[in-house]
């Protein structure tokens, strides 16, 4: 079973990326033909700083490898290293009704959040379809907010196949209901676009400051005011990082005003820092010699490119492009 997934390097990868996607990738690499790419073309929808994108792309690769992605077990590459994806993106655009894109809720949500509307943001699902179809992908692990994009991919592929035969495999989406959802520091979805993240590798002082200044239950104006953990953005972090005894301590201490909010946050701070320490140590190997990372990416890109060329050979032939 071929599984394809990717992450944008529009900013530093954060712990939401880890719990929402990368943790599942580490598991999938043991039991599937896993394709992982760093989606730097997609990142152009929101990041216009070339030097930042270059650094973020390398940093994302270091994070993947440091977290446990084994490049000998997966195909691991950078999206822009396989130019065939842009050719297929253009071909598929001719099989994408405008109404299909106009109904895409991700575009509407991002524009509503203040991200500038442009063609790349609008046609994002078509490039995602090219990513998926180029490599004969069978299963696409997604969050619930990305299901529609896989459905758009299916619609485009079926429309193309109706004209030219079974050129593309029709992918299925997979939503893991057991995936932990990490909210942002403000309680909204953790997202680079919203500036509410904790990076996978972040300075200890920065992490401490971010968590200590997180908003809490508005009812707790004073330490003596009882609160409700379910109304506090810190509580989901306890559910992920804290043991049962600590969670019980938080529930009792908050509801009965036995502990203050700063006191409540301290176990989360300690747990995040403890989790990041071995990651920082593994990443240092690649930071000391970035050539190691670039060579791994180059090998993966070559493997992905060969498959992409085979797909585009068939596409060009049926469309009369050579």
Residues with a catalytic annotation lie at 110, 189, 192
Yes or no: say if 216 and 260 are a contact pair by the CB < 8 Å rule. no
Helices and strands (H and E) in the chain: how many: 15, 5
Residue 290 CA neighbour count, 13 Å, CB half: 8
* Distance from C-alpha of 232 to C-alpha of 41, rounded to nearest angstrom: 36
User: In this structure, how many other beta carbons lie within 10 angstroms of the beta carbon of residue 169?
Assistant: 15
Residues 6+ apart with CB under 8 A from 151: 173
Yes or no: say if 56 and 12 are a contact pair by the CB < 8 Å rule. yes
Cα separation values, 128 from 5, 47, 60, 121, 265, Å = 10, 17, 19, 11, 38
Residue 244 structure tokens: 């049962």
DSSP 251: H
Residue 298 CA neighbour count, 13 Å, CB half: 6
Residue 195: exposure state from Cβ atoms within 10 A (0-12, 13-18, ≥19) = exposed
Cα separation values, 202 from 50, 199, 241, Å = 22, 5, 17
């Amino acid at each position: 079973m071929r599984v394809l997934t990717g992450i944008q390097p529009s900013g530093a990868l954060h712990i939401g990326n880890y719990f929402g996607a990368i943790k599942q990738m580490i598991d999938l690499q043991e039991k599937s033909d896993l394709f992982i790419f760093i989606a730097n073309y997609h990142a152009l929808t929101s990041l216009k700083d070339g030097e930042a994108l270059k650094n973020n792309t390398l940093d994302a690769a270091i994070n993947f490898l440091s977290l446990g992605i084994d490049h000998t077990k997966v195909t691991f590459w950078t999206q822009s290293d396989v130019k065939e994806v842009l050719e297929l993106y253009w071909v598929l655009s001719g099989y994408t009704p405008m109404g299909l894109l106009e109904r895409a809720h991700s575009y509407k949500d991002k524009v509503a959040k203040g991200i500038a509307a442009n063609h790349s943001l609008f046609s994002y699902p078509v490039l995602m379809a090219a990513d998926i179809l180029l490599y004969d992908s069978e299963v696409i692990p997604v969050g619930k907010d990305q299901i529609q994009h896989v459905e758009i991919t299916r619609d485009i592929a079926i429309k193309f196949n109706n004209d030219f035969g079974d050129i593309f495999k029709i992918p299925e989406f997979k939503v893991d209901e057991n995936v932990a959802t990490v909210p942002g520091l403000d309680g909204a979805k953790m997202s680079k676009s919203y500036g509410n993240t904790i990076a996978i590798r972040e300075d200890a002082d920065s992490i401490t400051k971010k968590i200590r200044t997180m908003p809490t239950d508005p009812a707790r104006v004073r330490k003596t005011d009882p609160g409700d953990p379910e109304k506090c953005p810190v509580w989901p972090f306890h559910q992920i990082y804290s043991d049962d005894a600590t969670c019980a301590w938080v529930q009792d201490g908050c509801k009965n005003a036995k502990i203050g909010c700063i006191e409540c946050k301290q176990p989360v701070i300690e747990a995040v820092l403890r989790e990041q320490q071995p990651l920082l140590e593994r990443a240092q190997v690649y930071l000391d010699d970035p050539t190691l990372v670039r060579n791994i990416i180059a090998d993966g890109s070559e493997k992905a490119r060969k498959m992409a060329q085979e797909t585009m050979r068939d596409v060009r032939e049926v469309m009369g492009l050579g």
